[in-house]
Amino acid sequence: MTDPVTLPLSLAGLYADPQRLAEARALAERLGLPLLAEVGDSACLRLDQTGLALLPAAPLGPLQVDFVAGQMGHRRRFGGGRGQALARAVGLKDGANPQLIDATAGLGKDGLVLASLGCSVRLIERSPIIAALLADGLQRASLQPDLADWLARRVRLHPGDALELLPRLCAEQGADVIYLDPMFPERKKTALVKKEMRLLRQLLGDDADANELLACALGLADRRVVVKRPRLAAPLAGPKPDLVLSGKSTRYDVYLRH
Ligand SMILES: C[S@@+](CC[C@H](N)C(=O)[O-])C[C@H]1O[C@@H](n2cnc3c(N)ncnc32)[C@H](O)[C@@H]1O
């Protein structure tokens, strides 16, 4: 039997609540998607008063970027602060607040945790659909009084391919740290892979150019490059990491520059 979660996801279009029709038209044109009169059985985007969501075909539920409540809000408040492995991997100690580029931003979870801890974060995301979900999540988060100030000061989104954008962004303003979290290699036990990751994989496939991205980042970062990997996966091709921080299911490979 075919496993439904490994089928590629193609979107039927964008459905919009009547109050948001003008925005939806512009977004649909930008993404090259038709506007839908209703949500059907196929995967699509939906723009309504709650924001932009990806509605995949059953059995998976809607996917929306939410930095305020849910898992992300919890991770910001109780994720372990500067002591968590992600923060230690990027070098957040002794009050340092590095300039960081998250070159594989995805749904922005790691990038936003790092920004909430004090890093200035430039987010690069090449999938126009994921970048649109991320922009919508950032916009809604910026309406929250406790988030608005540091989001405006510390977070910028740059839609596009990091292989093209990294040299330009680093020339404009250096990056102490370049953070990479390319799509993990497919796991055999799909039940172990979180819903969001399964959806991203359906939509985007593997990040086959991850080794190239590491080589590019190593030539541009001022202090370190950090790569997130599954705990037991081989490192990306290239030099050996200088430091390795392992957690329960994730590992951070750290490449020091100076
Ligand atoms: C595993 S997800 C990242 C998840 C993210 N760390 C988070 O916390 O939500 C990988 C993302 O990197 C993006 N990506 C991969 N290679 C890229 C590149 N060269 N330029 C920009 N984005 C890239 C993919 O489109 C995908 O959305």
Residue 11 lies in a domain: yes
Burial class of residue 187 (count of CB atoms within 10 Å of its CB; 0-12, 13-18, 19+)? middle
Per run of 10 residues, the mean pLDDT along the chain (length 258 residues) is: 53 96 96 95 94 84 87 74 92 89 96 95 97 97 94 97 98 98 72 70 88 98 97 95 93 94
- Nearest-angstrom CA–CA distance, 150 and 91: 20
Are residues 167 and 250 both part of a single domain? Answer: yes
Residue 20 lies in a domain: yes
- List, in sequence order, every residue forming a beta bridge with 180; answer none if it has no partner: 227
CA distances from 181 to 15, 135, 200, 250 (A): 31, 19, 13, 11
Residue 200 lies in a domain: yes
**Comparing C-alpha atoms, which of 96, 143, 138 is closest to residue 117?**
96
Are residues 47 and 153 both part of a single domain? Answer: no
Are residues 241 and 136 both part of a single domain? Answer: yes
Q: Ligand 1 test: best mutation among 71, 104, 107, most atoms within 8 Å of CB? A: 104
Phi-psi region of 94 (alpha: psi -120 to 50; beta: other; left: phi over 0): left
Residue 80 lies in a domain: yes
The token duo for 101 is 């580029």
Residue 65 lies in a domain: no
Residue 29 lies in a domain: yes
Are residues 9 and 44 both part of a single domain? Answer: yes
Among the atoms of ligand 1, which is closest to the Cα of residue 110? 8
DSSP state of 124: E
Residue located nearest, by CA, to atom 26 of ligand 1: 106
pLDDT of residue 3: 42
Distance from the alpha carbon of residue 122 to the mean position of ligand 1, in angstroms: 13
Residue 95 lies in a domain: yes
DSSP state of 63: B
Sequence-distant (6+) residues with CB within 8 A of 89 are: 226, 243, 245, 252, 254
| Boundary-marking domain end, from 14, 32, 55 | 55
**Count of domains forming the chain:** 2
Among the atoms of ligand 1, which is closest to the Cα of residue 124? 21
Among the atoms of ligand 1, which is closest to the Cα of residue 165? 20
| Cβ(229)–Cβ(187) below 8 Å | no
Are residues 26 and 131 both part of a single domain? Answer: no
pLDDT of residue 213: 98
**Comparing C-alpha atoms, which of 27, 26, 33 is closest to residue 11?**
33
pLDDT of residue 4: 41
Tell me the average pLDDT of the chain. 90
Are residues 125 and 96 both part of a single domain? Answer: yes
Are residues 17 and 87 both part of a single domain? Answer: no
Residue 139 sits in a domain whose CATH number is 3.40.50.150
Residue-range definition of the domain harbouring residue 16: 4-55
Are residues 185 and 240 both part of a single domain? Answer: yes
DSSP characters over 151-205:
HHHHEEEEES-HHHHHHHHHHHS--SEEEE-PPPPPPS-GGGS-HHHHHHHHHH-
The token duo for 132 is 């649109």
Are residues 50 and 131 both part of a single domain? Answer: no
Judged by DSSP in three states, 14 sits in strand
Are residues 25 and 143 both part of a single domain? Answer: no
Sequence-distant (6+) residues with CB within 8 A of 251 are: 228, 229, 230, 231, 233, 244, 245
Q: In the structure, which protein residues have their CB atom closer than 6 angstroms to any atom of ligand 1? A: 103-104, 106-110, 124-127, 130, 161-163, 181-183, 200, 204, 207, 209, 213
Residue 34 lies in a domain: yes
- List, in sequence order, every residue forming a beta bridge with 244; answer none if it has no partner: 253
Sequence-distant (6+) residues with CB within 8 A of 2 are: none
Are residues 97 and 212 both part of a single domain? Answer: yes
Are residues 49 and 78 both part of a single domain? Answer: no
